Structure 1
Amino acid sequence: MKIELNRNSRTSLVQQIYENLSDRIRSGILNEEECLPSIREMSKNLEVSFLTVVKAYDLLEQNNLVKRVQGKGTFVKSHSIKCEKSKNTGSPYKWQLSIQDYLPRTHFDTHYNSSDHSLQFSLAAIAPSLLPNRYLENEIHIMLEKNPLILSEYGPIQGDLDLRIAMKRILKKQKINVSQKDILVTNGTQQGIDLAARTFIGPGDVVIAEAPTYPAALDIFRSRGASILPVPIDKNGIRTDILIKLCETKNPKLIYTIPNFHNPTGIVLSNDRRKQLLTIAQEFQIIIIEDDPWSEIYYNEKPPNPIKSLDTKGNVIYLKGLSKTLIPGCRIGLLTADGTIFNRLVSSKMNADLGSPLLTQKALYPLFQSKRMEDHIKKLRTALKIRRDLVIKLLKKHMPEGVEWIEPKGGLNIWISIPEKWDTKQLLLECQKKNLSFLPGFVCFCGEPETNHLRLSFSYLNDNVLETGIIELCRILKEFLSVTPPENSRLIL
């Protein structure tokens, strides 16, 4: 176990050790009942005082993450969310524990992938029946008949030129005027976040993220050794009044934001806040990662143009997901940036994989060229709006008193909050007994999480199963809230 400590940080060493270990415990990297290193061993390895480790372990115990057994050591307590990873007791792989890793948290893998549950509300993906699978299948056959040698070709590092030209036209509709030379094809926006992080973030660098936010992004930033500072959001998006105070005192290097139909809350960053955010980034010379997974999935009015459309000084790295609304299996996204920032990101892409697969790029190109893509998106908006409206109707009818939610104007998710003294990690255990899953909200926070939220994705199930699942969730939740929560179910903040 490798813990990186920043001795120049304003965050105390006690807090750094605690946060690193608590992230590993909550995300399941450290298994249930696993013994932590002894205080003396941890003190020696980290070159900190014995008392510093004692205080960090005390915080873990106070927050109900570990238990101490007199004469035996400190052990990870049973997780609220069961992890599929095997126990190490009696395992032939026990020797692997001696190998250091650099994974402080992997919430995305542990809590996002719940494909074994028939009532799956955890996956922010679109039902396969709503995607143009047959059309793309035919296009792939046609392409391979015309050019069978494509399977033996490497594509350009930046991506297929024809596809980048088509992407340029898409960006132009959003008032982002760039050349195809300034576009990088990525394996989805997930790779775009990773490329930006591995290029510009190292141990001790400060990253600002919305609270809550996309958990896999937090995993990536933490894996780079970053100190992540959360900024709360309100109905208009990230609180720029709080953001500017942090920028004045913490010297952040990067701001990660999801302005359109924010994941997980569905909130849209107002146009005024977009301008304020960009002004702050320009004033303090900060990079913005603008993550745009599904701005085209709007149910009322189209969201404001991207922050990148206002960017005149090259502060914004813009990421656009394309495969989620078309064909997730192709994993296609785009990245655009300016100046040397873009050049360095291209170098990172080369180091990562030498370029995205050419086959999938060529397969998607005809769709970008035709009117069929625009027609597909329009039909998709209609279908998803029907599902969103159905879920909201069912929530209003069946949800118990005291439960609140944000009605999204686009995107795939609904953010639900239950009374604060209850914990959605415990609720998920009850739901899993009925083959129902959702994303517990605590994974969307860095540091000390809020544990009374959940993200419900309504886009993956068909209408009949969707209705059954929502009614069942409301029933379980009503029963859950009728029982007094255990005193130790809440974290000590």
Structure 2
Amino acid sequence: MHIELLRSGDKSLPQQISETISQRITSGLLQPGSRLPSVRGLSSSLKVSQVTVSKAYADLETRGHILCSQGKGCYVTDREPGKQGAAAGWQDGYDDYLPRAQLWRNFDVTEVDYPFHLAAIHSSLLPLGTIGATMAALVREQPELMATYGNFQGDPELREVMRRHLQSRGIRLSSGDLMITSGSQQGIDLVARTFVGPGDTVYLEAPSYTGAIDVFAGRGAEMIFVPMDGEGMRVDKLTAMCDRKPPKLIYTNPTFQNPSGVTMSMTRRQRLLELARSYHCLIVEDDPFSDLYFHQPPPASIKSMDTAGHVVYMKSFSKVLAPGCRIACVAAEGNILSRLIAAKSASDLGSPLLTQRAVLPFIERKYEDYAAKLRIALRMRQEAAAKLLKQYAPAGVTWRLPEGGLNLWLQLPDSPAIDKLHALAEQEGISFLPGDVCYAGDMPSRHIRLCYSQLTQEGMERGLRQFLLLLERHLRFGS
């Protein structure tokens, strides 16, 4: 088992080992019944003392993640009675470099009636017919597109359309400063693989997007989480943190943040950019939701104020058009972009040309009118969800209604036993995202994320009412 240890980090070595194994267990990389390496074997492979590994295993056993038996070894506990792990074999001892995989674990829920865990938009609200018709016409009339590798940087025509789109939002770049990726997730991964290595300091909002945490953890980064309030990331706290540990990269989702829904104020956006300039570091500005505002447009993007190339800006289009098309735009300049393009060429030889051409005419001619109608539909869903929360949410449950986006972020009372609630909800065909996956390590959370846009409005109302009644019973009798 490979574990990237930061020997000069703030956390002790036993704590780092314990947290990494814990995350592997909770994200399903280590299944119930899996045998852990022996104390002697793991201490040898990690080049630490056997006492260090023994302390880590003792901590894991105390928290119920593993069970150790003299002469038999340590095994992952079966928290779900009757559930069997995969058969042991040579694969169990084959090293990998995945410290966690919460994105896979928590989004692979298919057999539920009410998938509140997934931050997505119901298919009835998406322009799937229009984009599908364009794609079908392309297949009929230009079948050679399926035999053509796309430009590593992305289709030039689509990049020009996206350049005009970003310009209308205050981001003034040339089409040569843009790169098309297979969703923002690939963009985050490319930035991490290109610029982040073991021990590099990455700052994120607390809480943060699960997929980004997975990526940075996989690079062995030291992730430090910055508290938030109603104006977003506490840049004053971040400044003090950076004095102790200078950043290599700052990741932020400043507009209708996933998962909290909070929007960073303009003042803090400016201060964050100033901080990046002073430390000569990158900001990754992840922006999937800024077009989904309910009343007033959000503050201008950090990228729109960037004059020295400190911000790598990511705009997802597949999220609001057709998730299966996996289209996003990454905006950066100079040698930063050149290195990202080089990394992408080694990753996938270029995004599929067919899907790029399929979304191009819609973004160019119909996107703005469509986005205006989508905002109305999402606002109606959010208002309906807010009404249900006010009517059915148990005492002690709190929330702040976002001004846009797709999610509600609920804080539960003390000791809510969210893992038990999660299992009970799935038994009733309901899923939600536990807040602890939005942090690294074993940081406990009293929060859950619910998406109100993944279902029809009727289905959302029915499922949310059912969940809130379940939550009432759980908080009263199940904690």
Give the TM-score taking structure 2 as reference length: 0.97
What's the counterpart of residue 375 of structure 2?
A: 381
Amino acid corresponding to residue 17 of structure 1 in structure 2: I
SS of the residue corresponding to residue 483 of structure 1 reads helix
What's the counterpart of residue 9 of structure 1?
A: 9
The answer as to 2:400 corresponding to 1:402 is no
Of residues 160-169 and 238-247 in structure 1, the stretch that sits farther from structure 2 once superposed is 238-247
SS of the residue corresponding to residue 198 of structure 1 reads helix
Amino acid corresponding to residue 195 of structure 1 in structure 2: L
1:88 aligns with one of 86, 89, 93: 86
The answer as to 2:440 corresponding to 1:442 is no
Amino acid corresponding to residue 9 of structure 2 in structure 1: S
What's the counterpart of residue 468 of structure 2?
A: 474
**Deviation, structure 1 residue 293:** 0.8
SS of the residue corresponding to residue 482 of structure 1 reads helix
What's the counterpart of residue 248 of structure 2?
A: 253
Counterpart CA distance in 2 for 1:240 and 1:369 is 36
What's the counterpart of residue 138 of structure 2?
A: 143
Counterpart CA distance in 2 for 1:83 and 1:157 is 48
Counterpart CA distance in 2 for 1:193 and 1:281 is 18
Using the aligned pairs only, state the percent identity. Answer: 43
2:384 aligns with one of 390, 394, 401: 390
What's the counterpart of residue 76 of structure 2?
A: 76
What's the counterpart of residue 355 of structure 2?
A: 360
Counterpart CA distance in 2 for 1:291 and 1:63 is 35
Give the TM-score taking structure 1 as reference length: 0.94
What's the counterpart of residue 457 of structure 1?
A: 451
**Deviation, structure 1 residue 70:** 3.5
Give the conservation status (yes or no) of the 8 Å contact 1:423–1:451.
Answer: no
**Deviation, structure 1 residue 44:** 1.6
**Deviation, structure 1 residue 83:** 12
The answer as to 2:465 corresponding to 1:483 is no
Amino acid corresponding to residue 85 of structure 2 in structure 1: K
- Report the CA distance shift for 1:211/1:445 in structure 2 as closer, same or farther (over 3 A): same
Give the conservation status (yes or no) of the 8 Å contact 1:26–1:79.
Answer: no
Counterpart CA distance in 1 for 2:21 and 2:304 is 40
**Deviation, structure 1 residue 79:** 4.0
Amino acid corresponding to residue 157 of structure 1 in structure 2: F
Counterpart CA distance in 2 for 1:22 and 1:417 is 23
**Deviation, structure 1 residue 436:** 0.6
Amino acid corresponding to residue 467 of structure 1 in structure 2: E
- Which residues of 2 match residues 154-233 of structure 1 at below 5 A? 154-233=149-228
Counterpart CA distance in 2 for 1:416 and 1:225 is 30
Counterpart CA distance in 2 for 1:104 and 1:316 is 27
Counterpart CA distance in 1 for 2:391 and 2:9 is 50
Give the conservation status (yes or no) of the 8 Å contact 1:113–1:123.
Answer: no
What's the counterpart of residue 488 of structure 1?
A: none
CA offset digits 1:264-309 (Å, max 9, x no partner): 0100001011011111111111211100011100012110111011
What's the counterpart of residue 27 of structure 1?
A: 27
Of residues 71-80 and 219-228 in structure 1, the stretch that sits farther from structure 2 once superposed is 71-80
What's the counterpart of residue 39 of structure 2?
A: 39
SS of the residue corresponding to residue 363 of structure 1 reads helix
2:119 aligns with one of 108, 124, 128: 124
Amino acid corresponding to residue 70 of structure 2 in structure 1: Q
**Deviation, structure 1 residue 75:** 2.4
Counterpart CA distance in 2 for 1:31 and 1:134 is 41
**Deviation, structure 1 residue 451:** 2.8
Give the conservation status (yes or no) of the 8 Å contact 2:178–2:329.
Answer: yes
SS of the residue corresponding to residue 477 of structure 2 reads coil
SS of the residue corresponding to residue 346 of structure 1 reads helix
RMSD across aligned C-alpha pairs, in angstroms? 1.6
Counterpart CA distance in 1 for 2:305 and 2:178 is 17
Counterpart CA distance in 2 for 1:111 and 1:74 is 25
Q: Which runs of 5+ in 2 are unaligned?
A: none
**Deviation, structure 1 residue 137:** 2.0
Give the conservation status (yes or no) of the 8 Å contact 2:184–2:329.
Answer: yes
**Deviation, structure 1 residue 146:** 3.7
The answer as to 2:303 corresponding to 1:305 is no
Give the conservation status (yes or no) of the 8 Å contact 2:138–2:354.
Answer: no
Counterpart CA distance in 2 for 1:228 and 1:64 is 25
The answer as to 2:51 corresponding to 1:51 is yes
SS of the residue corresponding to residue 202 of structure 1 reads coil
Counterpart CA distance in 1 for 2:360 and 2:56 is 53
Counterpart CA distance in 1 for 2:3 and 2:115 is 35
CA offset digits 1:46-93 (Å, max 9, x no partner): 11112111222222233332233333222222347x999x6234x6xx
Give the conservation status (yes or no) of the 8 Å contact 2:202–2:251.
Answer: yes
SS of the residue corresponding to residue 226 of structure 2 reads strand
- Report the CA distance shift for 1:10/1:157 in structure 2 as closer, same or farther (over 3 A): same
Counterpart CA distance in 1 for 2:122 and 2:464 is 17
Counterpart CA distance in 1 for 2:79 and 2:162 is 44
**Deviation, structure 1 residue 138:** 2.0
2:320 aligns with one of 318, 325, 329: 325
CA offset digits 1:436-455 (Å, max 9, x no partner): 11111111111232332110
CA offset digits 1:192-228 (Å, max 9, x no partner): 0000000001111111111111101111111111111
Give the conservation status (yes or no) of the 8 Å contact 1:175–1:305.
Answer: yes
What's the counterpart of residue 294 of structure 1?
A: 289
Counterpart CA distance in 2 for 1:464 and 1:146 is 40
The answer as to 2:277 corresponding to 1:278 is no
Give the conservation status (yes or no) of the 8 Å contact 2:180–2:329.
Answer: yes
- Report the CA distance shift for 1:432/1:169 in structure 2 as closer, same or farther (over 3 A): same
Amino acid corresponding to residue 425 of structure 1 in structure 2: D
Give the conservation status (yes or no) of the 8 Å contact 1:425–1:451.
Answer: no
Question: Structure 1 segments of 4 or more deviating over 6 A?
Answer: none
**Deviation, structure 1 residue 245:** 1.5
The answer as to 2:430 corresponding to 1:432 is no
